[in-house]
Structure 1
Amino acid sequence: MWGAMTSVEEKMLPHIALLGGGIFVRSQYIPRLKEISQTVVLRVIWSRSEESAKAAAELAHEFSPNVEYKWGDAGLNDIIQDSSIHGVLIVLTAQVQVDISLRMLRAGKHVLQEKPAASSLSEAENAMLFYHSLHANFPHRPIWAVAENYRFEPAFVESQRLAKEVGDMMSVQVIVESSMNSSNPYFSSSWRRNFAGGFILDMGVHFVAGLRMIVGYEVTSISAISRHVDTSLPPPDNVCAVFQLENGCGGVLVLSVSTRSPKISWRVVGSKGSVETERGIRNGQHGYTVTYSPAGEPPQCSFYPFCGVNEELKAFVQDISQANLKDGEAYEPDPRGTYLEGARDVALVEAMLESGLKNGELFHVKKL
């Protein structure tokens, strides 16, 4: 028996495996899965080592007392071959996530993979070609989602709505002054230091996801200057870019991962007003303040606590449930989570980094 549910109720729910036992699994995934434990059955937690898998499983015992833990290649193969596992959450290093995602998809399992969607645009494009080829093996392709929680934050949903109210778009500003240093638990993670783009790619996909969602248009071209200031971080750690949207509007993106005074905001200025989304803390809660300033009227402010990880997990579980009910018929998952959206984030960040390597040469963002 799983928790307070009957065995019949459990069989009706999606059964999932969680791959990974690192910081984000322990601090975010397991607590968030606890919050939605009445809608999904966590069957297995896997990690490369037995110690890591066991430690993560122990954290989940409170809400999933029968959760198993597996490790290594044998454990991964067990999950692949277990047809009763409907979906997999993949929270591993960027270098291996795509390969393991494709192995799970080939086995017919739905996948929610952590960002970035890939470590390069070419990897993402090859992965999508393989994914689309799965039509030959399944009546309907399994769901492949990327865990880009910014697209599920209510603040960005509201900002997207308000951006349509500011009239003709005149300018866009994205300011990211982050402070990645030795006090941050992710500072020492080796995988972020061992692939092109480092923290700029790993963190940057978040901020361009927020940009793309709020404005509702794709970035078509970008020119960037990059620098390496903090030598304790992989290069580059600072990028300043000018970009153009497909609607003709221009914008600026300042991305620094090594500042001492954190500030993160997105601002859209239009002919009828502006909307700004700024990260911060209110009453001890981390979240976003959305400020809508219609022309000639007082600003309207609303605060939205962080809840994107919870919302994206709920959406993925709901998508699996609906896909199971369709029993092979066509089903369209939540468009915010699709792998294509994650790949588009990578395409934009990669174009920005390439421009930085060539001293600001204008790069066109590949249209996917």
Structure 2
Amino acid sequence: MARLNIGVMGAAGIAPRAMTGPSKHVKEVEVVAVASRDATKAKEFAKKHGVPRALGSYDELLRDPSVDAVYIPLPNSMHAAWSIKALRSGKHVLCEKPLASNADEARRMNAVAGETGLALVEAFHYRYHPVADQLKRIVNSGEIGEIMRAELRWKFDTSRSNIRFDYSLSGGALMDIGCYQIHLLRFLTGQEPLVTDASAERTSEQVDGAMVAHLHFPGGLDARIECSMISKELVQDLQLYGSKGELRCDSPFLPHAGGSIRILHDANKKRVKIDPTETYVYQLKAFAAAARGGTPAITGGDDAIRNMEAIDAIYRKAGLQPRGT
């Protein structure tokens, strides 16, 4: 498989962790350029992270014939426009989650990916780590019986000046971290949820600093998700309650950072071993396979549309507007 040359669109804080760092462990790819609207910032990023070329605009990156694919870690509100532009420029796209501001944007992005025949992948990196499939196998095995209830929490505190609190940039706790929780539940059940209730703690008129949502799945599972960027509590976990036992997973979305899976069955407890390899390494390998080998990505456009539909429904149920509307 030919090496995939990747350009980074935006010198964002997540880029070293999600792209330039992991690329050193994935022989199928090379990060060859970084672009920023601030040329000085691009040069500083390139020098610090060993990227060969620094470019002063996103358009310049898309015109570069040596770039096969782009990684887009821009603010959520910019995902759709630049992903579509990249696809129409002949570049495969790995775009940060959530893929779009809303489901309609995701549909447009997916349509262009279909027209161009290029890979459009949403960067739900956790899904490419073996722990996700481990959780699915445990659920399907019946080891804890029929899954009746699920609870997911992801809570932390961050500066209110963070762009994630900006509605014009499609911010909000549900967009930033709740999207993961919805995605995992959809994967584990293989079903799409009905939003039965949702309530937001607002940091501004339309922005959720925290969100609690209740979901019902056709197979009978009831789930509660809680996500917060304004909590003094630091927690990220999943609990599944079955007819024969319970499953508890710490750090399901960053399993390489202290993750664990414990199964409680009657008086017995079992701990499942977790691969310490970073999720981003697995994601980058999968992106290269999708772009070069034509292997369908498991977090492609169709999946992103369904995830965004659930996000939009939660916002409406909480009395907030879907982002980008």
Please give the range of the TM-score, normalised by the shorter of the 2 chains.
0.7 to 0.9
Identity across aligned pairs (percent)? 19
Write the deviation string for residues 267-294 of structure 1: whole angstroms up to 9, x where unpaired: 22223333221129xxxx7232111234
Please report how far the alpha carbon of residue 117 of structure 1 lies from its aligned counterpart in structure 2 after TM superposition.
Answer: 0.7
Contact 2:178/2:226, CA 8 A, preserved across alignment: no
Give TM-score, length-normalised by structure 1.
0.77
| 1:164 aligned onto 2:140 | yes
1:33 to 11, 23, 32: 23
Structure-1 residue corresponding to 2:7: 17
Q: 1:42 to 1:301 in 2, by over 3 A?
A: closer
Mapping for residues 219-298 of structure 1, pairs under 5 Å: 219-228=192-201, 231=203, 235-279=207-251, 286-294=257-265, 297-298=268-269
Please report how far the alpha carbon of residue 297 of structure 1 lies from its aligned counterpart in structure 2 after TM superposition.
Answer: 3.9
Please report how far the alpha carbon of residue 317 of structure 1 lies from its aligned counterpart in structure 2 after TM superposition.
Answer: 1.7
Aligned residues: CA RMSD: 2.6
Please report how far the alpha carbon of residue 101 of structure 1 lies from its aligned counterpart in structure 2 after TM superposition.
Answer: 0.9
Contact 2:92/2:119, CA 8 A, preserved across alignment: yes
Contact 2:6/2:68, CA 8 A, preserved across alignment: yes
Distance 2:207 2:63 in 1: 41
SS in structure 2 at match of 1:332:
coil
Distance 2:59 2:236 in 1: 42
Write the deviation string for residues 69-89 of structure 1: whole angstroms up to 9, x where unpaired: 1012xxx33333333322111
| 1:71 aligned onto 2:56 | yes
Q: 1:160 to 1:19 in 2, by over 3 A?
A: same
1:102 to 80, 84, 101: 84
| Ranges of 4+ aligned residues in structure 1 off by more than 6 Å | none
Mapping for residues 315-326 of structure 1, pairs under 5 Å: 315-322=286-293
| 1:117 aligned onto 2:89 | no
Please report how far the alpha carbon of residue 199 of structure 1 lies from its aligned counterpart in structure 2 after TM superposition.
Answer: 2.6
Write the deviation string for residues 207-248 of structure 1: whole angstroms up to 9, x where unpaired: 2222222x232233112231326x489732333322111213
Mapping for residues 39-54 of structure 1, pairs under 5 Å: 39-54=28-43
Distance 1:227 1:81 in 2: 42
SS in structure 2 at match of 1:344:
helix
Please report how far the alpha carbon of residue 112 of structure 1 lies from its aligned counterpart in structure 2 after TM superposition.
Answer: 0.6
Mapping for residues 57-206 of structure 1, pairs under 5 Å: 57-61=46-50, 67-72=52-57, 76-134=58-116, 141-166=117-142, 168-182=145-159, 188-190=161-163, 192-195=165-168, 196=170, 198-206=172-180
SS in structure 1 at match of 2:273:
strand
Distance 1:310 1:58 in 2: 22
Distance 2:282 2:56 in 1: 28
Contact 1:150/1:209, CA 8 A, preserved across alignment: no
Contact 2:150/2:221, CA 8 A, preserved across alignment: no
Distance 1:51 1:80 in 2: 19
Distance 2:16 2:146 in 1: 41
Please report how far the alpha carbon of residue 181 of structure 1 lies from its aligned counterpart in structure 2 after TM superposition.
Answer: 2.4
Distance 1:40 1:116 in 2: 23
2:181 to 198, 201, 207: 207
Structure-1 residue corresponding to 2:270: 299
Write the deviation string for residues 95-133 of structure 1: whole angstroms up to 9, x where unpaired: 112111111111222111111110112211232233333
Give TM-score, length-normalised by structure 2.
0.86
Unpaired segments ≥5 residues, structure 2: 321-325
| 1:341 aligned onto 2:318 | no
- Aligned pair count reads 315
Distance 1:133 1:88 in 2: 18
2:295 to 314, 328, 332: 332
Q: 1:170 to 1:77 in 2, by over 3 A?
A: closer
Structure-1 residue corresponding to 2:323: none
Q: 1:279 to 1:234 in 2, by over 3 A?
A: farther
Q: 1:277 to 1:77 in 2, by over 3 A?
A: same
